[in-house]
């Protein structure tokens, strides 16, 4: 259902691509490590930016998500590895590491951060964008998503303090660690599209009722918890995340 959501509403997450370009800023010939990059939403723009002499390794523990990535993009300098961030042992060095909306799934975040640090070359940059504790997005996940997602949603959302401690424990230069707000908005042509996207993205099939009733319930939750705005002829859903940025 994650793949269906991304395929049906390809423009919804335009701001996420903008955040990737701003903070990861992939450049020609760079070697980039993707962590929890799932079905490869960020693959096409990253591959385009690094060019044919760059290298992009996408790691994710879900073979289903990676199978969808393989349908979205194939390229000789793109490889995938079916591993969680906590189990990954790098065999090459990367200029940059990138993750979006995945780190909260890592059961051992201390080990995951060490693995990312070890994978980077000296001066290498890490950008982890995720849901943080205390945010409206954490409420959305711990409330409706945890109740109604067909797989459940147990998550370890970072606090600023724990994120900084993880960087310190892994060995990152503390003077080059920063956390920035990402005021993401996801954009849709109609309220129903917004509800359908979130319903599918989180596979919220356990909401009682017929599919249209489930979508209505999702829209209600999004309005109450995250905030939805009608601007001109489109709808914006607040999706407030943070980026943890560090340099080795």
Ligand X SMILES: C[S@@+](CC[C@H](N)C(=O)[O-])C[C@H]1O[C@@H](n2cnc3c(N)ncnc32)[C@H](O)[C@@H]1O
Contacts with ligand X by CB under 6 A lie at 35-38, 41, 60-62, 65, 84-86, 100-102, 105-106
C-beta closer to ligand X: residue 38 or 54: 38
C-beta closer to ligand X: residue 86 or 193: 86
C-beta closer to ligand X: residue 31 or 109: 109
C-beta closer to ligand X: residue 55 or 186: 186
C-beta closer to ligand X: residue 151 or 175: 151
Find the shortest distance in angstroms from Cβ 16 to ligand X: 7
Find the shortest distance in angstroms from Cβ 38 to ligand X: 3
Task: Give the 3-state DSSP-derived string for the chain, with helices as H, strands as E and coil as C.
Answer: CHHHHHHHCCCCCHHHHHHHHHHHCCCCCCEEEEECCCCCCCHHHHHHHHCCCCEEEEECCCHHHHHHHHHHCCCCCEEEECCCHHHCCCCCCEEEEEEECCHHHCCCHHHHHHHHHHHEEEEEEEEEEECECCCHHHHHHHHHHHHHCCCCCCCCCECHHHHHHHHHHHCCCHHHCEEEEEEEEEEECCHHHHHHHHHHHCCCCCCCCCHHHHHHHHHHHHHHHHCEEEECCEEEEEEEEEEEEEEC
Find the shortest distance in angstroms from Cβ 175 to ligand X: 27
Find the shortest distance in angstroms from Cβ 7 to ligand X: 12
Find the shortest distance in angstroms from Cβ 123 to ligand X: 24
């Amino acid at each position: 259902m994650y793949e269906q959501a991304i395929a049906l509403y390809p423009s919804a997450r335009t701001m996420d691509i903008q955040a990737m370009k701003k903070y990861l800023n992939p450049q020609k010939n760079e070697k980039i490590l993707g962590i929890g990059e799932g079905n490869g939403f960020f693959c096409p723009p990253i591959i385009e930016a690094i060019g044919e002499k760059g290298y992009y390794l996408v790691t994710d523990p879900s073979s289903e998500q990676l199978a969808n990535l393989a349908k979205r993009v194939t390229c000789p300098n793109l490889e995938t590895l079916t591993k969680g961030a906590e189990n990954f042992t790098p065999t090459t060095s990367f200029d940059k590491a990138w993750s979006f909306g995945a780190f909260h799934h890592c059961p051992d975040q201390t080990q995951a951060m060490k693995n990312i640090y070890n994978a980077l070359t000296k001066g290498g940059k890490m950008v982890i964008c995720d849901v943080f504790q205390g945010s409206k997005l954490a409420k959305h996940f711990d409330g409706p998503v945890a109740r109604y997602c067909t797989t459940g949603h147990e998550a370890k959302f970072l606090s600023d303090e724990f994120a900084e401690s993880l960087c310190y424990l892994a060995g990152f230069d503390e003077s080059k660690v920063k956390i920035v707000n990402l005021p993401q908005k996801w954009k849709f042509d109609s309220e129903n599209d917004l509800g359908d996207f979130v319903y599918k993205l989180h596979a919220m099939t356990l909401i009682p009722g017929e599919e249209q009733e489930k979508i209505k319930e999702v829209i209600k939750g999004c309005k109450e918890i995250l905030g939805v705005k009608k601007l001109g002829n489109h709808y914006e859903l607040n999706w407030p995340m943070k980026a943890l940025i560090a340099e080795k």
